Amino acid sequence: MKYLALDNCWRHASIEVEREAEQLPLRILIVEDQTEIAWQVSNRLAASGYAADVVGTLDDAIEAIRQFDYPLIVLDRRLPDGDGLTALPTIRQLRPGTRVLLVTAMRSIDERVNGLDSGADDYLTKPFDDSELMARIRAVLRRTTVAPEPDVVLGKLIFDFKRQSAFVSGRTLKLPKREALLLEALMRYAGCVVKHDTLISEIYGPNEGIQPDSLKMAISRLRQHLKDHDAGVEIHTLRGIGYLIEELRI
């Protein structure tokens, strides 16, 4: 059988089910070159149930955005390689649905108006209170207008992208974070091969160390979880290319 190795190829069927889900934490990108502030924001996000990736330059930010679809970016303006505003057109082109919260020491009304007119969703001046930061983050995330991806159904397995949760025969499939992110990436392109690099960028942040066999071991663990829960799917390996998930053929 021939498979398509296309990162933008996926098929799905929707289904209406009632369920309770354990939602995976949303990943937020922090673009901040001042280490103390970056970790202040990162720790506050973690305490509030979010996951955070941290980069310190515009170049690293664009690379991270190419690799992962962040719902929100906390973007500093004064960075070593330029003004954060200059990245907004690229961010909008790459990720139209991503929200941007500018954080900067520029306090004048003109600067704030300029930031919002340039395409930012909100503007917060330094120094800021952690509570206000989180309130603004929650408000920006509530304003999203991008339609959620429909559920994908394979065999007895359903993946709900809105909830970022999987279900087998109507029951929640509880997975460790890494395997849950891996399953989400595979289900997004169900029926097509997902390349190694794409999967690695989906399940590992830019600040994480990745061992040569990390993805292979994560695939093995996910396969075992799916088998143990009789999900009715299988994950194929295409050596040197990537992996594919499809309905189990009997």
Domains along the sequence of the chain with CATH: 27-128 (3.40.50.2300), 152-247 (1.10.10.10)
Instruction: Look at residue 15 in the predicted model and tell me its pLDDT.
Output: 28
Instruction: Look at residue 232 in the predicted model and tell me its pLDDT.
Output: 94
Q: How confident is the model at residue 118 (pLDDT cuts 50, 70, 90)?
A: low
Region 111-119: mean pLDDT is 63
* Bond into 96 cis (ω within 30): no
Instruction: For the chain, report the end-to-end CA distance as a whole number of angstroms.
Output: 15
How far apart are alpha carbons 91 and 71 in whole angstroms? 12
- How do residues 40-54 score in pLDDT, each as one tens digit? 888 888 888 888 899
Mean of per-residue pLDDT scores for the chain: 80
Alpha helices, DSSP H, located in the chain? 35-47, 58-67, 88-94, 109-117, 130-142, 177-188, 196-203, 214-228
Bridge-based pairing state of the strands 72-76 and 27-31 = parallel
Of the given ranges (15-19, 123-127, 150-154, 201-205), which has the lowest mean pLDDT?
A: 15-19
7 close to 189: Cβ distance less than 8 angstroms: yes
In the predicted model, is pLDDT for residue 5 greater than 60? no
Residue at 73: amino acid letter: I
32 close to 54: Cβ distance less than 8 angstroms: yes
Region 28-51: mean pLDDT is 89
- How do residues 56-84 score in pLDDT, each as one tens digit? 999 999 999 988 889 999 999 889 998 88
